[in-house]
Structure 1
Amino acid sequence: MSFGDPNNPYGQQQGQPGYGYPQGQAPQGQPGYGYPQAPPVQQYGGYNGPTEMPGGVKAARVMLFIIAGFQVIGAIFAAMAAVGVSKAKDDPALKDDVQFQQVADMSVGVIWLITLLILAWGVLALVLGVKFGSGGNGIRVTALVFGIITAVLGVYPFVLVGLVHTVLAILIAVFVGKSDGAQWFNRPRH
């Protein structure tokens, strides 16, 4: 039986333990000929994103809870103002006070409406903060819009009172809008 030219590097070699390797230097741990290697092990579904909420998203969540608390405090003050204006409208001593009359000209119903709007904005902040753990990209977009609108409202009509709201809202929009925030809200939910 003939095996061809022994000097031919492409011919079948006889008696060598590792084909193409000098004797005694065959690689260790290689699978045998004809056995394919298994693909690398991946997480369920091939997802390589965050499994824990990133720090920026956690911070944005806390800031939403802080804004919700401030909104509740603001709603309490607005409700006290509505009750105070309602009781003081009939006070004869305040009939000549021009500044009070300007406030009293605003309907008590409008003050209650403002109170409800303040409270609703706080409830929205609270719901967004609660949904950060399980929400999807819709919660992220809503939080971005919430942050932008809150920042604008904090600057324009409520300059001094809204400074804290403005800073917190800008930070919320930045933290939620970052790439790790996007990865967190776009992760698959099982």
Structure 2
Amino acid sequence: MSFGDPNNPYGPPPQQPPAAPPGAPGYGYPQAPPNIPPQGYGYPQQPAYPGYPGGNMMPQTMPGLMVTARVLLYIVAGVQILIGIFAIFGAATINDASNAGEDTFGDNGLSDIGHASAGIIFVIALIFLGLSALSITLGVKFTRGGQGIRITTMVYGILGSLLGFLGLINAADVGSSASLVFALLWIGFGGVMAAAMIAPSGAAWFNRPRY
């Protein structure tokens, strides 16, 4: 009996080929995918709208009181523009009449008063046109503005209500119904603007995060 016989049951076991080192894939076999934990229970889900903080938060909408204040600002701006335009025409008319008086009667006190009045009215017209620009700017900035726009609008509304109150007193003394209605409207507009800025919804709107 020979120990070299491979069929000898009493001989040493045949030599096995060396095993491949662990982790090294064999030639021609596909690579095993890495161990990726499944997105199951207990794992955080990906947001539906990534790319900005807040995940799935939808855009906020402007509160109703803020929308009302914004519309009133545009209405006030339109009235201020009309007053400024009429004031400019009035100043030009008075100035032309003063020039005509100087041509007819020479330099006199009435002509000087006319020129001074025309200058004052023209300055008032410029003030109203400037305020109309401010009203439009505040209304436009409601969308992207911050606390500066909120405070400016609040002060603007308070001052408007104060002027309306003074006009109300004057209208009551004069007895003019048109001036009384105009003063009441001015008080109401200014009060709504100030209230919209003081309300918690207004403060939250101007404090909202912007991305």
Normalised-by-shorter TM-score class: 0.5 to 0.7
Scaled by the length of structure 1, the TM-score of the pair is 0.66
Query: Which residue number in structure 1 is paired with residue 185 of structure 2?
Result: 164
Equivalent-residue separation in structure 2 for 1:49 and 1:86 (angstroms):
58
Please, which runs of 5 or more residues in structure 1 have no aligned partner? 1-34
Partner of 1:59: 68
- 2:165 and 2:58 map into 1 onto residues whose CA distance is 36
Where does residue 202 of structure 2 map in the other structure? 181
Aligned-partner Cα distance in 2 for 1:80–1:162: 24
Judging changes above 3 Å, is the alpha-carbon distance between structure 1 residues 103 and 189 closer, same or farther for their aligned structure 2 residues? Answer: farther
- Name 1:6's counterpart in structure 2: none
1:103 and 1:70, CA in 2 relative to 1: closer, same or farther beyond 3 A?
Answer: farther
Deviation at 1:166, TM superposition (A): 2.0
Aligned match for 1:120, one of 104, 112, 130: 130
Question: Cα distance, 1:66 vs. partner?
Answer: 0.4
Asked if 1:140 is matched to 2:150, the reply is yes
Larger Rg: 2
1 CA distance for matches of 2:63 and 2:77?
21
> Aligned pair count?
148
Q: Report SS of the residue matched to 1:156.
A: helix
1:91 offset after TM fit, Å?
4.5
Unmatched runs of 5 consecutive residues or more in structure 2: 1-40, 172-178
Length-normalised TM-score, structure 2: 0.60
| Structure 2 counterparts to residues 81-100 of structure 1, below 5 A | 81-92=90-101
Q: CA deviation at 1:177?
A: 1.4
2:61 counterpart SS class = coil
Equivalent residue for 1:75? 84
Instruction: Provide the residue aligned with 2:160 in structure 1.
Output: 150
C-alpha separation between the residues in 1 aligned to 2:69 and 2:53? 28
1:104 aligns with 114
Cα root mean square deviation, aligned? 3.2
Q: Which has the higher contact order (CA 8 A, sep 6+)?
A: 1
CA contact (8 A) 2:94 2:115 kept: no
Kept after mapping to 1: 8 A contact 2:98/2:112:
no
The percent identity for this pair of structures is 36
Contact 1:49 1:184 in 2 (8 A): no
Partner of 1:131: 141
